């Protein structure tokens, strides 16, 4: 069966990448396969996870590029060279330009640790999202998988899952619960859904 090749862009520990690798092994993702993992940090643990799963890896460092356009064109040539048709941002800590996102229109997905449109956009990443949710006093948070466009966290929503905020939560405990109960579940499901659509529309 033909599968959509997936490129995963990472910067850190790669827990969402691991969720995708596990989903591929367990048969949740059947319409796609991870062909390449690209990091913008050379010591990202996500690269070790990829190597352990025998997935090709590459590193593109911003400081080794003249500007952001060279940085993005190096990433594009790696993605296109590997024949990847879907890009998953899994904790990729670099904002992509409109040139990049429009080149791969409806082919880039991201997981964000809140229920968009709450606590999203410029400056909302990592623990900051959960700090803001707790400061606001929300009783429900969660995660959102969305298409990526030129507006940070502004693309069309693919899937969302709500997670209860508990009394006494810290940003760290809330982050962990949202990862386990939402991010690691809906990212693989969304990935499969998008890959399936790509195959059906060929």
Convert the pLDDT of each residue in 36-62 to its tens digit: 999 999 999 999 999 999 999 999 999
Residue range 137-145: mean pLDDT, rounded = 97
pLDDT band per the 50, 70, 90 thresholds, residue 132:
very high
How confident is the model at residue 179, as a pLDDT? 96
Dist CA 199 CA 160 (whole Å): 23
Annotation says 112 is catalytic: yes
Dist CA 154 CA 106 (whole Å): 12
- 3-state SS class at 157: strand
Catalytic residue (choose from 49, 107, 112, 177): 112
Rounded percentage of the chain residues whose pLDDT exceeds 70:
100
Contact status, residue 140 vs residue 162, Cβ threshold 8 Å: yes
How confident is the model at residue 101, as a pLDDT? 96
How confident is the model at residue 100, as a pLDDT? 96
How confident is the model at residue 122, as a pLDDT? 87
Contact status, residue 36 vs residue 57, Cβ threshold 8 Å: yes
Average pLDDT, the chain: 96
pLDDT band per the 50, 70, 90 thresholds, residue 114:
very high
Contacts of 43 (CB under 8 A, 6+ apart): none
Dist CA 125 CA 186 (whole Å): 18
Whether residue 93 has pLDDT greater than 90: no
How confident is the model at residue 123, as a pLDDT? 87
Peptide bond into 189 cis (omega under 30): no
Sheet with 140-147: strands ordered across: 56-59, 32-39, 4-10, 86-90, 108-112, 140-147, 157-164
How confident is the model at residue 15, as a pLDDT? 95
Expressed as residue numbers, the domain containing 46 is 4-200
Dist CA 152 CA 170 (whole Å): 25
Query: Total structural domains in the chain?
Result: 1
pLDDT band per the 50, 70, 90 thresholds, residue 1:
confident
Look up the CATH number of the domain holding residue 177: 3.40.50.170
Burial letters for 20-34: b for 16+ Cβ neighbours within 10 Å, e otherwise?
Answer: bbebbeeeebebbeb
Per-residue pLDDT of 56-81, as tens digits, reads 999 999 999 999 999 999 999 999 99
**Closest by alpha carbon to 6, among 40, 30, 42?**
30
């Amino acid at each position: 069966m033909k599968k959509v090749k997936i490129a995963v862009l990472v910067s850190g520990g790669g827990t969402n990448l691991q969720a995708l690798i596990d989903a591929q092994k367990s048969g949740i993702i059947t319409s796609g396969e991870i062909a390449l993992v690209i990091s913008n940090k050379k010591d990202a643990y996500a690269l070790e996870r990829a190597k352990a799963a025998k997935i090709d890896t590459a590193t593109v460092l911003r400081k080794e590029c003249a500007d952001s356009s060279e940085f993005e064109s190096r990433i594009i040539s790696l993605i296109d060279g590997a024949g990847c048709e879907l890009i998953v941002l899994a904790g990729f800590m670099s904002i992509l330009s409109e040139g990049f996102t429009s080149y791969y229109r409806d082919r880039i997905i991201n997981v964000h640790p809140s229920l968009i449109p709450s606590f999203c956009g410029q400056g909302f990443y990592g623990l900051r999202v959960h700090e803001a949710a707790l400061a606001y006093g929300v009783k429900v948070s969660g995660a959102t998988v969305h298409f990526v466009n030129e507006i940070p966290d502004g693309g069309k929503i693919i899937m969302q899952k709500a997670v209860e905020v508990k009394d006494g939560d810290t940003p760290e405990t809330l982050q962990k619960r949202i990862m386990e109960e939402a991010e690691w579940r809906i990212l693989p499901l969304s990935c499969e859904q998008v890959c399936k659509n790509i195959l059906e529309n060929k």
